[in-house]
């Protein structure tokens, strides 16, 4: 293996797309239709963004109830797309599909224990309608918020679509988050209804949800009703008058339900993501632009055709699942695979077995998963016939060339183009990625999608695009699935994205553009960690630590990790009189898992007597990080307590418990 990879790596690292892929691609058809000859010409023509996105509306078959009067209204930092259009995304994702593709399978779903459900568009339509009627009966109206804490079962997309259908705003909370994280999100959104399940299967265990939610529901006065899907037969407490079984509430509901006619710019959902302060940000997306953005990228980048079997392995609790398991594929009338459980259960070939069984043609996953499988060995994918695959994709973090090559060779059999897609919760849709016609450079997300304008700026706002120099990745024009704000946090919206450069969207990522115009994303600039492709705010973990009675202060930093990308390291100052030991360390890790979710559990904790601070008292995470990595911490003379650097150094050198 090593030899082949070495030779692949020597190829100058340009991989031209297979001719057959190019010839039959959706993007090539689009170009032919408009007399566009080359990739460069396509990017050039799409600089007329209104023209391009109007073409995309036709390309993905968007069906407005009332046509827009205007394509774009850009009053930075606020955007509106398809102004005046009456619309509901569910009309395209479901109602239209139930007419056109009634008997086509929308989801092939597999539960971790091996149970299988195949749901056609006709059935999905019916189930969404019944559930939407039930929500209406519970008094859910346009604009009301509904929090959904469901695992990867078909009821998750059904619940989302049912909310959207009646004009309610869904706020999905990842089922791996803790009940405390759930509570924060319920409170911020002031949700009226919670939809959850008794539990789900993961790694051979049952993970309870509803009984855990009970622990926080008393603190959530906005919640009027709780609807619980019975998945695992877990004994579940049901509070009379508040809690209802899903299976009961849909039983007698009619199969038809009128779709609420919305404005194209009305809010479709809120999805919380981590930021630089402890409180998560509620990113807002709207019906119309989002629909066009997710469907167009999926059609042109992943080249989906009528007979493709698409599998995006993300969890719907993240933006990737919202856009590319729920809305994008449904708008294109695609058949998607969806899986409930752990990728390595019962054996490390679970995914590869499913790709073979369902003849998956296009597969989209994360670099962290690829690195994990790489470590488990290629014998696992080699047990299976993966020859149906024709395209692959990744998302969530930069993919290191070794993982890229492994994916290319052992999953794609050296014949599949790999779409390294760069985007964010805020962008809603993939913004940078190869197309089927783009030559690849492993590790680069290549170029912006047509109609998307990105650049790399220096701190003064000068473009570094011709200089191959590192700077700040920015987006210089609006795009249809652009966030519409942060839920009830206008100032934060402006400060986070629009205060670095005037009228230019600041992504928070560092990048460089090479001599061929290819973008190389170098990671986050702000204090946000990327653990297994998921964003976790350093300060979120710090707040969780400090909420423990033994902790007085904490600094959380990221450390490069072979599989997860980054691991979480915490420097902790204990309250006086409390002495550090291994037991306390474990209980702090557990505490964070309970406060935020397992994903945020620190990998290492170092107890220290002091942390480096500025004169205004701000903890200098960067100094902690440099010291931990054995790097020069830079100028520390401006610190209020430069001696704390030695303390941190000592702790990092000697491991967890130190007397200093």
Binding site for ligand PRX (CB under 6 A): 273, 319-320, 395-398, 420-425, 445, 507-509, 521, 523-524, 530, 534-535
CB of 100 to ligand PRX, least distance (A): 29
Residues 6+ apart with CB under 8 A from 140: 146, 163, 166, 168, 192, 193
**Quick one: which H or E segment has residue 336?**
strand 335-339
| CA distance to 33, 479, 543, per residue, from 56 (Å) | 13, 12, 44
How many residues does this entry show for the chain?
660
CB of 395 to ligand PRX, least distance (A): 5
Query: What do you get for the CA distance between the two ends of the chain, in Å?
Result: 47
Closer of 535 and 589 to ligand PRX (Cβ): 535
Query: Closest Cα to residue 68, out of 402, 404, 377, 480?
Result: 480
Closer of 121 and 479 to ligand PRX (Cβ): 479
Closer of 80 and 534 to ligand PRX (Cβ): 534
Question: 397, 366 in Cβ contact below 8 A?
Answer: yes
Q: For helices 287-300 and 49-59, what crossing angle results, to 10°?
A: 80
Three-state SS at 120: strand
Which residue is nearest to ligand PRX, using beta carbons?
425
Query: Closest Cα to residue 98, out of 110, 87, 90?
Result: 90
509-521 burial string, b = 16+ CB within 10 Å, else e? Answer: bbbbbeeeebbbb
CB of 523 to ligand PRX, least distance (A): 6
| 111 phi-psi bin (left φ>0, alpha ψ -120 to 50, beta other) | beta
Residues 6+ apart with CB under 8 A from 358: 108, 309, 311, 337
d(CA 113, CA 201): 7
CB of 396 to ligand PRX, least distance (A): 5
CB of 549 to ligand PRX, least distance (A): 31
CB of 408 to ligand PRX, least distance (A): 15
Strand 519-524 versus strand 505-513 pairing type: antiparallel
Closer of 510 and 636 to ligand PRX (Cβ): 510
Closer of 26 and 273 to ligand PRX (Cβ): 273
Closer of 178 and 433 to ligand PRX (Cβ): 433
CB of 533 to ligand PRX, least distance (A): 6
Three-state SS at 110: strand
CB of 525 to ligand PRX, least distance (A): 9
Residue 601 φ/ψ, nearest 5 degrees: -65, 125
Closer of 398 and 580 to ligand PRX (Cβ): 398
Question: 83, 68 in Cβ contact below 8 A?
Answer: yes
Closer of 192 and 322 to ligand PRX (Cβ): 322
Closer of 253 and 394 to ligand PRX (Cβ): 394
Per DSSP, what are the bridge partners of residue 537? Answer: 528
Residues 6+ apart with CB under 8 A from 479: 49, 289, 293, 427, 429, 431, 451, 452
CB of 13 to ligand PRX, least distance (A): 16
Closer of 169 and 431 to ligand PRX (Cβ): 431
CB of 423 to ligand PRX, least distance (A): 5
- At 409, list the tokens: 């060779």
Closer of 129 and 365 to ligand PRX (Cβ): 365
Question: 27, 303 in Cβ contact below 8 A?
Answer: yes
**Quick one: which H or E segment has residue 570?**
strand 565-574
Closer of 398 and 558 to ligand PRX (Cβ): 398
CB of 598 to ligand PRX, least distance (A): 17
CB of 594 to ligand PRX, least distance (A): 22
Closer of 432 and 574 to ligand PRX (Cβ): 432
CB of 323 to ligand PRX, least distance (A): 8
Closer of 521 and 555 to ligand PRX (Cβ): 521
**Helix spans in 527-572 (H):** 538-546
CB of 466 to ligand PRX, least distance (A): 22
- At 370, list the tokens: 């690829």
Query: Closest Cα to residue 590, out of 555, 530, 548, 534?
Result: 548
DSSP per residue, 25-64 = -HHHHHHHHTT--SHHHHHHHTTSHHHHHHHHHHHTT---
């Amino acid at each position: 293996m090593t030899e082949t990879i070495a030779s692949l790596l020597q190829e100058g690292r340009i991989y031209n797309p297979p001719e057959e892929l190019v010839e039959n691609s959706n993007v090539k058809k689009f170009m032919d239709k408009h007399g566009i000859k080359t990739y460069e010409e396509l990017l050039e023509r799409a600089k007329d963004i209104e023209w391009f996105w109007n073409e995309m509306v036709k390309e993905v078959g968007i069906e407005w109830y009332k046509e827009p009067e205007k394509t774009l209204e850009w009053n930075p930092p606020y955007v509106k797309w398809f102004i005046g259009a009456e619309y509901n995304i569910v009309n395209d994702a479901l109602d239209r599909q139930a007419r056109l593709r009634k008997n086509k399978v929308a989801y092939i779903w597999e539960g971790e224990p091996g149970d299988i459900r195949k749901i056609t568009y006709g059935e999905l339509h019916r189930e969404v309608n019944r559930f939407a009627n039930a929500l209406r009966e519970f008094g859910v109206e346009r604009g009301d918020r509904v929090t959904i804490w469901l695992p990867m079962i078909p009821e998750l997309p059904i619940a989302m679509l049912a909310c959207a259908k009646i004009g309610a705003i869904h706020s999905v909370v990842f089922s791996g988050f803790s009940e405390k994280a759930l509570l924060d999100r319920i409170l911020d959104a002031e949700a009226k209804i919670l939809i959850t399940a008794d539990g789900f299967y993961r790694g051979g265990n049952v993970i309870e949800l509803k009984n855990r939610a009970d622990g926080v529901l008393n603190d959530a006065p906005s919640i009027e009703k709780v609807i619980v899907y019975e998945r695992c037969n877990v004994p579940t407490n049901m509070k009379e008058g508040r809690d209802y079984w899903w299976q009961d509430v849909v039983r007698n509901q009619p199969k038809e339900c009128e779709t609420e006619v919305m404005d194209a710019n009305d809010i479709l959902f809120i999805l919380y993501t981590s930021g630089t302060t402890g409180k998560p940000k509620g990113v807002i997306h709207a019906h119309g632009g989002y629909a066009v953005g997710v469907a167009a990228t999926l059609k042109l980048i992943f080249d989906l055709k009528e007979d493709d079997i698409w599998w995006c392995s993300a969890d719907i609790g993240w933006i990737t699942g919202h856009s590319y398991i729920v809305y994008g594929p449904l708008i294109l009338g695609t058949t998607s695979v969806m899986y409930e459980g752990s990728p390595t259960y019962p054996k490390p070939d679970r995914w590869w077995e499913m790709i073979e069984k369902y003849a998956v043609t296009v597969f989209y996953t994360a670099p962290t998963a690829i690195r994990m499988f790489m470590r488990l060995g290629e014998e696992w994918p080699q047990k299976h016939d993966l020859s149906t695959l024709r395209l692959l994709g990744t998302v969530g973090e930069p993919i290191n060339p070794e993982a890229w090559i492994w994916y290319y060779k052992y999953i794609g059999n050296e014949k599949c183009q790999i779409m390294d897609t760069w985007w964010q919760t805020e962008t809603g849709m993939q913004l940078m990625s190869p197309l089927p016609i783009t030559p690849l450079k492993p590790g680069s997300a290549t170029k912006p999608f047509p109609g998307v304008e990105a650049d790399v700026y220096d701190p003064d706002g000068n473009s570094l695009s011709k200089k191959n120099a590192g700077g700040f990745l920015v987006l210089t024009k609006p795009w249809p699935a652009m966030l519409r704000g942060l839920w009830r946090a206008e100032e934060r919206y402006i400060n986070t994205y629009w205060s670095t450069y005037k009228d230019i969207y600041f992504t928070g990522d560092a990048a460089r553009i090479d001599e061929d115009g290819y973008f190389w994303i170098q990671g986050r600039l702000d204090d946000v960690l990327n653990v297994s492709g998921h964003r976790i705010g350093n300060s979120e973990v710090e707040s969780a630590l400090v909420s423990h009675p033994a902790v007085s202060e904490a600094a959380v930093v990221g450390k490069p990790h072979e599989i997860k990308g980054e691991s979480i390291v915490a420097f902790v100052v204990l309250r006086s009189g409390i002495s550090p030991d291994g037991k306390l360390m474990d209980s702090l890790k557990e505490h964070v898992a309970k406060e935020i979710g397992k994903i945020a559990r620190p990998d290492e904790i170092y107890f220290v007597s002091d942390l480096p601070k500025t004169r205004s008292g701000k903890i200098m995470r960067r100094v902690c990080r440099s010291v931990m990595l054995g790097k020069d911490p830079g100028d520390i003379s401006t610190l209020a307590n430069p001696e704390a650097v030695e303390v941190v150094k000592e702790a990092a050198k000697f491991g967890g418990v130190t007397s200093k």
